[in-house]
Amino acid sequence: MLIVNNQEMAMLDRETINEIGLPGMVLMEHAALRVVELLGRLYGPLAKKRALIFAGKGNNGGDGLAIARLLLNAEASVNVFLLCNPEELKGDALKNFQILQQWGAKIHYLAAEKDLQRVDIALMCADFIVDAIYGTGFKGSVTGIGAELIKIINDSGVPVIAVDLPSGLDASTGKVAGPCIQASATVTLGLPKLGLLLEPGSKYVGELWLGEISLAPQAIKKAGLKTNLITAAEVAAKLPQRPRAAHKGTFGHVIAVGGSEGMTGAIHLAASGALRSGAGLVTAAVPKSLHSIMEMKTVEIMTKPLPETEAVTVGQEALDAILGLLAAGNVLLLGPGMSRHVSTSALLANLLPKVNKPLILDADALNMISADDPAKVFAGIKAPVIITPHPGEMGRLLGISAREVQQNRVETARQAAAEWKVVVVLKGAKTLVAHPDGTLYINPTGNPGMATGGSGDVLAGIIASLVAQGLDAFDAALVGVYVHGLAGDLAGQRRGRLGMTAGDLVEELPRALLELETGNCLPLPQVNERLRRIV
């Protein structure tokens, strides 16, 4: 599902209105209809419902004024609060204001702090609020009477439906620099806005619904949009097929290399994630001193002892053994629990240019690369590469702090993918998957219970498994992160989030895949084809 920033949305509106010729009033009317449809779904028959509409001076406010008229037509009791003088209204917002006056609506003007007393009184008996104060053009921090109003609304306990996005939220970045409406639900219009899906913005959104407003399809195509939300339907369509005549070799062989003293669990979780995601064969290759431990921990996973250092890490003498394993495998996963020993680093430097099959680099493999020149290292790899850094690892690769990564996750992931010509999986809340051509997907699944040691190892194994089963690197990454997050959501439902472990994710993988195969994940609740819930 395509996602837009504020500039892209403005361009689509202009193209639809100016080039296609669909009047802006039509778009505004469709927006109002979608919001009223959701209000009817959430609160039942709207007759005699007491609605408060808060409208700003822009097009978002114009949507709110149109919503007020439709609610009056539905025999609701409506009070409109306008955060500007009528003289400040322009274009379609002004037209809707003039029409609403003809409807005899109760319109109140919030010009000074004393006017907020009227809001306090109205809130005492309101059934719901419609937030149409600030739209996609908003940037910075809400100040003055707007800031006071948002605090009053948030403290009221009255449900809030936000039009397009909660007021105070940056549509492009998800940043919240000051007071922001805490919505019960948001109806985003035309296409989802990027800021609604990124942290911290997503926590203000409530239920996220998408309302169709008749944007021109040719305008969307012409825009060349490259940001997307991963959906269950898309993931289900990309899942590897399981032919009746298949055998274990049909579904590929994952070679997973890693582990060190005290970190055997990392490679075990990665290998288990690969097996539970459908790989036909999985071999976990570990330092020889840890081999007996792996033999006891695993049944279905094959194991291979490798030459080791005195510190019980995979040593550079393991090069030929790993290449020999890879000759019989389909994909190589490097890094979980691998350590950063000098001999292990030497192994990695010599191994990477010789790999001729898809490669997943995780954890310590990335940390060792960051100590070198990442651009040079990645340029020397001839095979398709997927990297799966968390913000700290990405920061080390780029020579910046984890905080800087988190402040600009989308552009950071895009920059790294384009510069290094690799598929980037930037882990964290709303994991991102970036392609070298600039295409980027945001993952909606997952929860805070997954913030536990080993969760990333499981993800690396899932992605490796999907590559082994025949998906290309980018598809494997976006399917992998969705399935991983869905397994986490299922584990949270079954066990709760506080005590969740990475092993719980492994156990829920078959159920997550079954949910996708049988279509139990979709469709999400919807009012009609023009209004549907997306998160």
pLDDT at 528: 85
CA dist 100 → 96, 109, 234 (Å): 6, 14, 42
Instruction: Read off the pLDDT of each residue in 87-110 and give the average, rounded to a whole number.
Output: 95
Q: Please report, for the domain that includes residue 59, its CATH number.
A: 3.40.50.10260
194 and 87 part of one domain: yes
User: Do 88 and 112 share a domain, yes or no?
Assistant: yes
Tell me the three state secondary structure of residue 5. Answer: coil
Residues 243 and 323 in one domain: yes
Report how far residue 130's alpha carbon sits from residue 67's, in angstroms, rounded to the nearest whole number: 9
Domain that holds residue 98: 2-224
Out of 182, 197, 224, pick the residue that ends a domain.
224
**Is there a domain that residue 220 lies in?**
yes
Same domain, 188 and 238: no
Q: Are residues 13 and 161 in the same domain?
A: yes
Residues 400 and 334 in one domain: yes
Q: Is residue 263 part of a domain?
A: yes
Show which of 224, 248, 264 is a domain's final residue. 224
CATH number of the structural domain spanning residue 391: 3.40.1190.20
The answer to whether 178 and 141 are in contact (CB under 8 A) is: yes
Q: How much is the average pLDDT of 138-153?
A: 95
**Which pLDDT belongs to residue 522?**
67
pLDDT tens digit string along 25-60?
999 999 999 999 999 999 999 999 999 999 999 999
Is 387 strand, coil or helix?
A: strand
3-state secondary structure of 26: helix
Identify whether 523 is part of a domain: no
Computed over every residue of the chain, the mean pLDDT equals 96
> Does residue 533 form part of some domain?
no
Phi-psi region of 104 (alpha: psi -120 to 50; beta: other; left: phi over 0): left
One domain, residues 348 and 494: yes
Q: Residue 427 domain-assigned? A: yes
Q: Is the pTM of this model over 0.85?
A: yes
Last residue of a domain, one of 175, 194, 224: 224
Is residue 523 scored above 70 in pLDDT? no
10, 138: one domain: yes
Q: Are residues 240 and 187 in the same domain?
A: no
Q: Could you tell me if 196 and 262 lie in one domain?
A: no
**Residue 276 confidence (pLDDT) above 90:** yes
- In three-state secondary structure terms, 207 is strand
- Based on the domain organization, do 125 and 271 belong to the same domain? no
How many domains does the chain contain in total?
A: 2
| 426-477 tens-digit pLDDT | 999 999 999 999 999 999 999 999 999 999 999 999 999 999 999 999 999 9
Per-residue H/E/C for 265-325: HHHHHHHHHHHHCCCCEEEEEEEHHHHHHHHHHCCCCEEEEECECCCCEECHHHHHHHHHH
**Any idea what DSSP says for residue 413?**
H
Q: In this structure, is residue 109 part of a structural domain?
A: yes
Average pLDDT estimate for 343-370: 97
Supply angle C-alpha 420, 425, 426, rounded to 5: 100
In a domain, 415, yes or no: yes
171 & 292 share domain: no
